[in-house]
Structure formats: structure tokens, C-alpha cells
Chain A
Amino acid sequence: MADFKYIRPDNLPEALDFLWDNGQDTAIIAGGTDVMIDVKSGKLDKKYLLDISRLDELKGIELNGRDLCVGSGVTLSEIYTSALLASNALALQKSAVNFAARQIRNIATIGGNVAHSSPCGDTVPSLLLHDAIALVADKKGIQHIPMEQMATSAYMSSLTPQQIIVKFILTPYQDGYADFQKIGRRKELAISRMSMAAFVKKDSTGRISFLKLALGACTPVPCSMGAVEAFLTGKVPTRELLWEAGGLLAERMIEITGNRSSTIYKKPAVQGLFMRILFPMVGS
């Protein structure tokens, strides 16, 4: 097994101090459900393991005016049971429902999910959906990083070894339909996994008055779904219309990712996933 020292700072400034001096030689551990796999296989080649799982500054879910703040240390179980999230970020709450099993959810954190498996992590599409901004700190100050910039494959290098994600600031959405769905197993090739989050509002005549979509996929897809959102807004959703919109979405993705072999699988998959999420909007 690996040879490292375990460090558990008492507060965030202490953690940031430590990282400022030793960041290059340090791995951060929150819930540990990703990091421990490396620890156990001896792949962790760092001198220090910095435990941030007890830092109060990273905890809590709060609504401050128009800012819905979710601490990076909030666990998937806390997301699952949060009434505040159920009424202000339902898609995020739903992303916890089929996330691993309870023993994992009890310790796995949203910060670890974003930092480790972006953009395949289950919480990522919902964070994109809510235009989340990550508040990232190092000893010298705080940076606000929009989720789109985090959810690229380049992200890993954009968070410096001295930085800790403190929290995510989301735009709340109330009183609409929201869902999160995923396809592909976690252990399958990353490329075949895909997930989607949506928020929809209909007016009194049954037309879509507001629609937002976000996709999680392990390709560097800038998640601009504007064309599809514009296509559906103002229309009464029918099965045919949704199928057409799903096709449009798939085409957009092919355009963005380039016509690679992986897209052959992806077109029907995107369309199917899209139908699965939005079908409850038909006629209801």
C-alpha cells in the first residue's frame, strides 16, 4: 500500500494553508469513495492525504435570496433528503435517488463528485441546469468558476493543487416539472454513459413556457441546448414534437463532438433519453 501521512485540519484556513505549502504532494479526501479506490490499489503517489470531510465551512444547504448554496461537503444522502432542494432544485435531488447505494450516499459528497468524475458525475447535469457557480478557494482568495468551465475534460487541470471547492451557488427553480435520468453503467466505458437533467414549466394553455436542459457526457460537449429549448418553447408538447426535438438535440451533439464512431451509439441514445425525461409532459 501507499506510504502517506494523514492530515485532518480543524478549519478551512488551516486546510488552505497546508495546501499552499504542500499542494503538489497532497491528495484531498472528502467522502473517500473515489480516493480510497486509489489508496487501496496503491496508486496514490502523494505524501499527504488531507481530510476535509469535517470542515464546517463546506457543509450545509441554504437559500439566501436568489442564491441556493450547496456546500461541497454535502453528502448525497443529505441531497436525497433535503426538503429545500426538493422545492428549489428538484433535478439535483433526483440525481441522488439512483446514485450508488445508501452506504455510499451516506459519505460521498457533491464536491468529490464534481472534482473527480466531471463531467460524468451524476450531480453535474443538475448543477449545469441550475447555472451553478463553484466557489473555489485557495490561501490567496476566492474564485467563482461557472460549472460549464468545470464540466470539461480540461477541468482537472484548471483546479490547482492549492484549491478547494467550498460550495456551489445555484439559481433556484420552483413550481415546475424536473427530472434527472442516466443511461449506461458506471463501469462501462465512459463514452457510453450519458445523463440528462431538465426543468419545464407549462402555461395555462398547456404550452411550454420555460424549458432548460443539461447533458452530462464524457465528451467535451459545451452544454448549450439553446436550439432545442427555443424549438420547444411556446409549443404544446406531443410525442411527435418531442421526438423531433430529441433528434435536433442528437444532431447538435454530433455537430459538437464531430462525427466520430461513438456518435453512432449516441444518436438513438440521446433521443431515447430525451423522450424518457420529457414524456410525462405530454398531455399532463
Chain B
Amino acid sequence: MTFEINGQEHTLDIPADITALEVIRSLLGLTGTKEGCGIGECGACTIVVDGKSVNSCLMLGAQLDGTKVLTVEGLATEASLAPLQEQFMKNHGVQCGFCTPGILMSTHALLEENPDPDTEEISKALAGNLCRCTGYQQIFASVKAAATASRDDRITGGKNG
């Protein structure tokens, strides 16, 4: 099986019965992606596959073949996306941090699709990501700040160019 993860191509031979989450965490050692419930309800294991957020705990590893995957480790290496994480730090969107990788991935997929979401759109996109610490307000604020920051970036970028 061959797939790309965070811009790097991997060819692996995997057992048929393991999940995408196990491929990412155990075989590739990318432990940023978390396992919470293991049954598709908490969103801690969210990754982005071909642009779409999915629960890696419910995806068969073999189904990654031929896809492009982004995990939380890939956000930081793509310089242009680091601001998303910065905004979460600034706006206190992170407390214990367990939900954070999943929330960042859902947010990333949302902002790619809709660079300027309103609160309801953010809430819908993050409905599958449970957080027991923050009460969500700080998370919504972080997403909004990230959207605004990247919009300002685009505007000044346009002026300069």
C-alpha cells in the first residue's frame, strides 16, 4: 500500500485488519493523532484524507492506499498553516490538549472549504470533536481569529503583490 502523509510518500505492507489510526500511530510513529473513544464519537483521531476530515479510528488502514493524508504533524511543517496553531495558543483554545489535534484537523478542513465561517458553521464543523475542558467558546474564538488572520494575510499579500 502506498500513500502520502504530510507530503511524504510511504509504501507499507500492513495487516488487513488494522485501522488508519494504527497505521499512523504505531507503524509510522506519528503520535500527534489521538485515540479517544475508538468508535467514531469523540473526534480525537480526526485526520484529513484527500481534503476531507475523517475519524481515523473508523477507517480501515488499507483504505489509505493512494490517498493524501494530513495529520497534525503536517500543519506545523507547512509554514503557511502554523498561524492556525498560533491562534489556538493565543485565544486559549487549548487546555489539556487531548482534543486539540483533532480539532485542528477539523478546523483545517473547514477553512480550506470555507475561509470565513460564521459561528454556526464552525459549530457544525466541530460537532464531532468533543472537548471536556474548554467549553468551546475559546475554540470558536481561535477558529475565528485564524480565519481573520488568514484573510488579512491574503489582503496584504494582494497589495504587496
Contact = CB atoms under 8 A, between A and B. Distances in A.
By size class, the interface of chain A is 20 to 34
A103 B128 contact: yes
A1 interface: yes
B71 interface: no
Interface in B106-125: 106, 109, 124-125
A39 B55 contact: no
A100 B53 CA distance: 13
Contacts of A32: 58-60, 63
B54 A36 contact: no
A104 interface: yes
Contacts, number: 69
B53 A5 contact: no
Contacts of B128: 100-104
A103 B43 contact: yes
By size class, the interface of chain B is 20 to 34
Contacts of B125: 102
A56 B19 CA distance: 24
Contacts of B39: 37, 40
A51 interface: yes
A6 interface: yes
B55 A103 contact: yes
B40 interface: yes
A36 B16 CA distance: 12
Contacts of B109: 102
B87 interface: no
Contact of A102 (B53, B63, B65): B53
A165 to B, nearest CB: 19
A1 B17 contact: yes
Residue among A39, A77, A102, A107 with max Cβ neighbours from chain B (10 Å)? A102
Interface in A34-91: 36-37, 39-40, 49, 51, 53, 77
A19 to B, nearest CB: 18
Interface string A14-36: 00000000000000010011001
Contacts of B58: 32-33, 36-37, 104, 107
A3 interface: yes
Contact of A36 (B19, B52, B53, B106): B19
Contact of A6 (B40, B59, B60): B60
A53 B16 contact: no
A32 B20 CA distance: 12
B33 interface: no
A262 interface: no
Interface of A: 1-6, 8, 29, 32-33, 36-37, 39-40, 49, 51, 53, 77, 100-104, 106-107
8 contacts: A2-B17, A3-B17, A6-B62, A8-B65, A32-B59, A53-B63, A106-B52, A107-B54
Given A100-B128, A103-B46, 20 more contacts: A1-B18, A3-B17, A5-B16, A6-B60, A32-B60, A36-B19, A36-B58, A36-B59, A37-B39, A40-B19, A51-B62, A77-B52, A101-B43, A102-B125, A102-B127, A103-B40, A103-B54, A103-B55, A104-B40, A104-B58
